[in-house]
């Protein structure tokens, strides 16, 4: 069996909105499963419109939210296994990058302080002196250096440069996984590709896997090895990026791909239906059916199961746009 770096097993997150009595339940993440193999680093993009649950899933992966159901296992250690789970080890293996670098760094501290603190707090360096080489190396791998950054405050950097510093900070423990939630959303359009290119470089150089969360499909298009499409809290399609882009299997992914904008553009406004959001989250049949041009009676009666359309591709749909291969059908019948 292939060793897994990350296993997300049937994970759900429920928010209760309003009071206990009259409040509503929002299933913000609904039975999501996915995994990343160990040993072969990948960039997995989580894509979907604003409000579909990307940040909620990301927060669960970073242990900032506890799932109501399901299990997350990193490098063989379950987040919920209090005996074997070690939070220092976790932070050595998983590092975050956030959306707005000006919010990640305090305006009153020089940015190099953060890099030194990470090295010292995680026990990677024993002294400031020992940390210097490490900090400089990390900064150099994102095209900066300690000499260029030392003593400077966040406002002395552009958004793109500051996001590079965040990446350098995340690299200090040489993590196995970096989780980046909309890391280029607040960055100047001309710098976006620059940052996502860096992910590709670092993946190869340091064998780090990335979970790249974005609603900017054009960068996902370019950078991902795998894509996971999220719709109203459900994972609706998963597989190798190029295959999904060339031949989407889910009607929603098709809709997104047809609307792929030029680099830096957001989703077309025509795609979002915010007034429907709560209702669609609560639908007991296929959540996409109300918007789906291919929907049938079956789609309006029950929820589809996740099916394998090829060995590497999964889709949550009764009528996928690509049909399972004979090999998959044989495989399913033998199982």
101 binds ligand ADP (CB under 6 A): no
Cβ neighbours, 10 Å, residue 240: 16
Span 256-315, contacts to ligand ADP by CB under 6 A: 277
Residue 224 binds Mg ion, judged by CB under 5 A: no
From the list 17, 11, 13, the residue with the least C-alpha distance to 278 is 17
In the block, which residue shows the tokens 């009595």? 21
Tell me which of ligand ADP, Mg ion, none is bound by residue 280, counting a contact when its beta carbon lies within the kind-specific cut-off of 5 to 8 angstroms: none
- Give the C-alpha separation, 60 to 268, whole Å: 28
Q: Is residue 28 a contact point for ligand ADP (CB under 6 A)? A: yes
Q: Read off the tokens for 72.
A: 């997350």
**Coil, helix or strand for 207?**
coil
Instruction: Report angle CA 287, 215, 184 to the nearest 5 degrees.
Output: 160
* CB 303, min distance to ligand ADP, A: 19
Supply the minimum distance, in Å, between the C-beta of residue 48 and ligand ADP.
6
The distance of closest approach from Cβ of residue 55 to Mg ion in the complex, given in angstroms and rounded to an integer, is 3
Shortest distance (Å) from residue 52 CB to ligand ADP: 4
Q: Does 56 bind ligand ADP (CB under 6 A)?
A: yes
55 binds Mg ion (CB under 5 A): yes
Which of ligand ADP, Mg ion, none binds 239 (CB below 5-8 Å, type-dependent)? none
CB of 70 to Mg ion, least distance (A): 20
Partner whose footprint covers residue 227, from Mg ion, ligand ADP, none (CB < 5 to 8 Å by kind): none
* The one among 14, 35, 51, 194 contacting ligand ADP by CB under 6 A: 51
Distance CA 19, CA 38 (A): 43
Backbone angles phi, psi at 29, to 5 degrees: -130, 125
Rounded Cα gap, residues 283 and 331, in angstroms? 31
- Going by their DSSP bridges, the two strands 306-310 and 226-231 should be labelled as unpaired
CA-based angle 173:176:178, to the nearest 5?
85
Query: 45 vs 55, which CB is nearer to ligand ADP?
Result: 55
When the beta carbons of 26 and 172 are compared against ligand ADP, the nearer one is 26
DSSP tag of 325: P
Q: Would you count residue 15 as binding ligand ADP (CB under 6 A)?
A: yes
Token look-up 């929002």 returns 26
Number of shown-chain residues binding Mg ion (CB under 5 A) = 2
Interface residues with ligand ADP (CB under 6 A) are 15, 17, 26, 28, 48, 50-56, 277
Interface residues with Mg ion (CB under 5 A) are 54-55
């Amino acid at each position: 069996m292939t060793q897994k770096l990350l296993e997300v097993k049937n994970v759900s997150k429920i928010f209760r909105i309003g009071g206990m009595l009259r409040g509503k339940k929002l299933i913000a993440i609904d039975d999501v499963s996915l995994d990343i193999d160990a040993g072969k680093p990948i960039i997995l993009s989580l894509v979907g419109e604003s409000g579909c649950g990307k940040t909620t899933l990301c927060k669960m992966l970073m242990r900032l939210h506890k799932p109501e159901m399901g299990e997350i296992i990193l490098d063989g250690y379950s987040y919920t296994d209090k005996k074997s789970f070690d939070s220092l080890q976790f932070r050595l293996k998983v590092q975050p990058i956030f959306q707005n670098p000006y919010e990640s760094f305090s305006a009153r501290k020089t940015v190099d302080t953060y890099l030194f603190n990470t090295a010292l707090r995680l026990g990677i360096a024993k002294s400031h002196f020992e940390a210097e080489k490490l900090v400089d190396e990390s900064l150099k791998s994102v095209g900066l250096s300690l000499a260029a950054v030392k003593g400077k405050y966040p406002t002395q950097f552009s958004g793109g440069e500051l996001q590079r510093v965040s990446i350098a900070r995340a690299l200090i423990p040489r993590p196995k996984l970096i989780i980046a939630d909309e890391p280029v959303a607040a960055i100047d359009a001309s710098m976006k590709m620059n940052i996502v290119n860096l992910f590709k470089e670092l993946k190869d150089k340091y064998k780090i896997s990335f979970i790249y969360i974005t609603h900017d499909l054009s960068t996902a298009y370019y950078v991902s090895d795998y894509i996971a499409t999220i719709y109203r809290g459900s994972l609706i399609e998963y597989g190798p990026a190029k295959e999904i882009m060339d031949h989407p299997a889910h009607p929603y992914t098709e809709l997104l791909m047809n609307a792929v904008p030029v680099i830096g553009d957001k989703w077309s406004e025509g795609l979002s239906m915010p007034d429907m959001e709560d209702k669609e989250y609560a639908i007991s049949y296929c959540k996409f059916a109300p918007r789906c041009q291919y929907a049938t009676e079956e789609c309006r009666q029950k929820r589809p199961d996740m099916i394998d359309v090829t060995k590497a591709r999964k889709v949550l749909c009764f009528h996928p746009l690509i049909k399972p291969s004979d090999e998959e059908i044989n495989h399913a019948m033998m199982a």
